[in-house]
Structures are given as C-alpha cells and as structure tokens.
Amino acid sequence: MMQPLKRTILIKNAVIYTLNAKDEVVRGNILVQGNRIAYVGEELPQIQAEREIDAEGNLVFPGFSNGHTHLPMMLLRGAGEDLPLMDWLTQKIFPLEDKLSDELAYLGSMLGIIEMVKTGTTSLADMYFFCDGIAAAIQESGIRANLSRCVSGQTMEEAKGRINDALRIYDTYHGAAEGRLEVGFSVHGEYTTGTEVIRKVCALARERDAVLQIHISETENEHEECKKRHGGKTPLGILESLGGLEGRVIAAHGVYIDDEDMERIAGRDVTVVTCPKSNLKLGSGIARVQEMLSRGVSVALGTDGAASNNTLDLMDEMRYMALLQKGMTRDPGVMDIRQCLRIAMQNGARGMGIEAGEIAPGMLADLILVNTKSSRFYPRQNAEAHVLYSACSQDISMTMIDGRIAYENGKIQFCDEARVLADFARAAEKLYR
C-alpha cells in the first residue's frame, strides 16, 4: 500500500480565486507539498496525501496580508476612546505603554494573532517594542511576519539604546521560524524622530536589504507641521532626502500625502498601507487610495493596532476601504472587486517580499477557505462580490500558513485559545490597576 506523503495536503472540489496575472478562477484542486503549492488545476493529482480536504461549497483565496499592526496593543483596546490622535497617544496610550513588558507583549501578541488567524490573515508587518515577546508569539503561532523594533528620539543620544535594541532584534530573529519571521527596521515617524536618527535607521535597513516601516502623514497637522519645520518638505520628502526611499519601504497611513509625494514614490519599492478604520476612528481623515493607485503607487491594507481600530479583521477593513473610496470619489466604478482583493491579499505580502498572495505552483501555501453555505452568499450569482460586500469573518472555515493548518472550523490549532484568553485577562487586569 502506498504510504501517504508527509506534509502533503490535497484540497479537492474547490472554487479557486488564483489572483494570478490572468485573474483565473479554477474549479478544481490544490496540492500543497511542504510549505508550497505544488499544483493547481482541474485534474486530481494521483498521489496519496497525508490529508485530504473536501472543499465543496468553499472558495479558496490567498490569505489576507496585514501591512500595519502593533500586536501588543490588544492590551490597550478600549483605552482612550473618542480622542484625537495626539491626545489619544499622550493622555492614554503612552502612560499605559510605560507599564508594558515582554511578558505582556507576548500575551497581547498571541491574542492578536489568534484574532487575525481566525479572520483569515496569514502574514503581517508589525512595528513596536518589547519585540522579544512579539517574536515568541510569532514563532509559537506559525504566522508569517515582518517584525521591527520601532525607533524614535530627537537626538542620536536619545535614540541610541533603541537603535542598539533594533540591531539586537535583527541579529537574533531575522530568518527564524523556518524563515517565516523576517526582521526589518522602523522609524516611528518624522514628528517623533530627529533627522540624524532617521538617516541612521534608513542606512541600517539599506545595508541589510531589510524592510523599513514608518508612519507617514497620518494626520493633517503632522504633515503640515513637518513642512513648516523643513522648508516645505513633507514627511516623504524628508525620508527621501535621508536615503529612506532607496530600499523597501512600508509607509503606514499616508492619509495626507500630496500629489508630489505620489509622484515621488510611484514605481518605487514603496507600499503605502491604508488603515481606513483607524483613520476614521481617530478623526484623521480618508486616504486618497484611488488616486494613489491611478498614479502607480502600490497600496496595501492594514488594521493598525487594536487600540485604534478596534478589531484586527481585514475582511471588514477591505469593505471599509472600498466603500470609502467610492463615496469620496462619488464614483461607484472605482475600487473594483478584484482590485480590492489584491490590495488586501497580495500587495502587503509583496511589499514585505513574501512569495504569497497568488495561488500558483511554487508560491508559499498561505491560503484561506471561505464557506459559502451561509445566507450571506445567496443568491449564488457573484461569490467574490459577496466576499467583499456581505460576508463576515465567521465565514472563514480554514486558514493555512506555510502549508500548515492554523485554524479550522472554529478551532485554533496552534495553542489552547481558552488558556491564552485567561492569561491575557489576568494580565490586563493588573495593567489597568
């Protein structure tokens, strides 16, 4: 008798949205061997897989890629409600962050990853501190991530310890977890960081061909005050002058980047990560996503932290993005369905250099199954429209990361969710005393 091939999963009878260059939709099968996709097509591979999954009634998509997160801020969800960004930060968030630790960061990250995986996210870009705790959660959970220790400070002396910690995190964790965990560098933002500090962090990222993460033009005040300080230069203008646009960049928010900024980054290895719910909740505004796309700027989707969102659900975020752009431009034809799926599932992964976001042989096996049996998928005339406009994350029946099933039919596979929740609750109770 033929022995089943180890780490081989056959997904049968699926409707597969490949998101390849031809936007093909395949009714058939996917063979996963190890951590990569080996076959996609109508034929049924004649091998004995270790696991067979009958996906009848399910749609298969690439997993969501969350381009901007602060995982430990799960601990701060509900803090500082109804405040503008700077008051929210200085009055509520910063004082609570002063009480955090690696142990708390681990618990916040684990619960955040659980929420992400249950809602279909397979990769994320995180910038924060207490990165040892975050890295432990990433490795334990199996999620794919680009992690960076956030650096701020107006002088090199002020930032020296943070820069050294960022280098330590890179040396310790880059390439860990069988390559699922990559480490980059990050600057909190122009308004919290001096130019020489920004220059240094940009140089470190370039020297290592690492991703640079930064908050960019999140609020109008941030954008305009930067121009006053620097003779008309915008935050992206400053970043360019300091060598920050010469490598891979994830620019979070971009609500107020102007036409000149868009020309500056179009065609470069810069991904603007729009976070519509966070920007709405903090009263920051609405990013001109459609305008960026029309000018050739790469745009991905992020949630931001749970303290300002307050969920980590990219399916919901994708719907906000589409509706806001249609309303803002007064054009229902913008942000078509496939474009929204690419922004949410493909562009973030590509911005991080991850070989995912497309269902094709050779690509990493980061996939989700969406169950169409709920009333939200009737009538059965346009399933992908239902995913964008009527489905909810409860319709996600499976999340696969790196060829391993992380979530299936309501159950997290990589940890005892109830134990994590109980530990988190006890830790949060102490934090708020």
230: annotated binding-site residue? no
Query: How far apart (Å, rounded) are the C-alpha atoms in residues 282 and 86?
Result: 9
Check residue 2 and give its pLDDT.
52
Specify whether 38 is located in the same domain as 86: no
Which pLDDT score is estimated for 40?
Answer: 98
Residue 134 is encoded by which pair of tokens? Answer: 């975050």
Same domain as 325, residue 367: no
Pair 127, 203 in one domain: yes
Does residue 420 fall inside a structural domain?
Answer: no
In a domain, residue 178? The reply is yes
Ligand-binding site membership of 208 (annotated): no
Domain with residue 142: its CATH number is 3.20.20.140
Find out whether 174 is annotated in a ligand binding site.
no
Please check whether residues 229 and 246 belong to one and the same domain: yes
Q: Is residue 424 part of a domain?
A: no
339 and 213 together in one domain: yes
Claim to verify: residue 115 and residue 196 sit in the same structural domain: yes
CB 206 within 8 A of CB 246: yes
Q: Identify which of 299, 195, 212, 291 has the alpha carbon closest to the alpha carbon of residue 247.
A: 212
The CA distances from residue 7 to 37, 70, 120, 199, 356, in Å, are 12, 32, 21, 44, 18
Residue 313 falls inside a structural domain: yes
Would you say 253 is a known binding-site residue? no
Are 45 and 193 found together in one domain?
A: no
| Both tokens assigned to 374 | 């709920």
223, 348, 237: which is closest to 285 by C-alpha? 223
Q: Exposed, middle or buried, 42 (CB in 10 Å: 0-12/13-18/19+)?
A: exposed
Same-domain check for residues 244 and 384: no
Tens-of-pLDDT digits for all 433 residues of the chain? 456 777 899 999 999 999 999 999 999 999 999 999 999 999 999 899 999 999 999 999 999 999 999 999 999 999 989 988 889 889 999 999 999 999 999 999 999 999 999 999 999 999 999 999 999 999 999 999 999 999 999 999 999 999 999 999 999 999 999 999 999 999 999 999 999 999 999 999 999 999 999 999 999 999 999 999 999 999 999 999 999 999 999 999 999 999 999 999 999 999 999 999 999 999 999 999 999 999 999 999 999 999 999 999 999 999 999 999 999 999 999 999 999 999 999 999 999 999 999 999 999 999 999 999 999 999 999 999 999 999 999 999 999 999 999 999 999 999 999 999 999 999 999 999 8
Residue where a domain terminates, one of 351, 378, 400 = 351
Q: Consult the annotation and say whether 97 binds a ligand.
A: yes
- Looking at the structure, tell me whether residues 293 and 239 fall in a common domain: yes
Position 365 in a domain = yes
Indicate if 333 and 377 belong to the same structural domain. no
Query: How far apart are the C-alpha atoms of 232 and 238, rounded to whole Å?
Result: 10
Structural domain including 197 reads: 64-351
> Residue 431: inside a domain, yes or no?
no
Residues 181, 154, 286: CA angle, nearest 5 degrees: 65
300: tokens are 């991905």
For every residue of the chain, which 3-state class applies, written as one string? CCCCEEEEEEEEEEEEECCCCCCCEEEEEEEEECCEEEEEECCCCCCCEEEEEECCCEEEEECEEEEEECHHHHHHCCCCCCCCHHHHHHHHHHHHHCCCCHHHHHHHHHHHHHHHHHCCEEEEEEEECCHHHHHHHHHHHCCEEEEEEEECECCHHHHHHHHHHHHHHHHHHCCECCCCEEECEEEEEHHHECHHHHHHHHHHHHHCCCCEEEEECCCHHHHHHHHHHCCCCCHHHHHHHCCCCCCCEEEEECCCCCHHHHHHHCCCCEEEEECHHHHHHCCCCCCCHHHHHHCCCEEEECCCCCCCCCCCCHHHHHHHHHHHHHHHHCCCCCCCHHHHHHHHHHHHHHHCCCCCCCCCCCCECCEEEEECCCHHHCCCCCHHHHHHHCCCHHHEEEEEECCEEEEECCEECCCCHHHHHHHHHHHHHHHCC
In the block, tokens 């959970």 appear at 141
In-domain check, residue 184: yes
Q: Are residues 200 and 233 in the same domain?
A: yes
Which residue in 157, 221, 222, 220 sits closest to 188, CA to CA? Answer: 222
272 domain-assigned:
yes
Residues 25 and 103 occupy one common structural domain: no
> Looking at residue 70, what is its pLDDT?
98
Looking up residue 398, the CATH number of its domain turns out to be: 2.30.40.10
What is the pLDDT at residue 22? Answer: 95
Say what the pLDDT of residue 1 is.
Answer: 45
Looking at the structure of the chain, the number of domains it has is 2
* Cα–Cα separations (whole angstroms), residue 423 to 71, 90, 138, 231, 417: 16, 28, 17, 50, 10
Structure tokens at 40: 């996609």
Does the annotation place 304 within a ligand binding site? yes
Is 207 annotated in a binding site? The answer is no
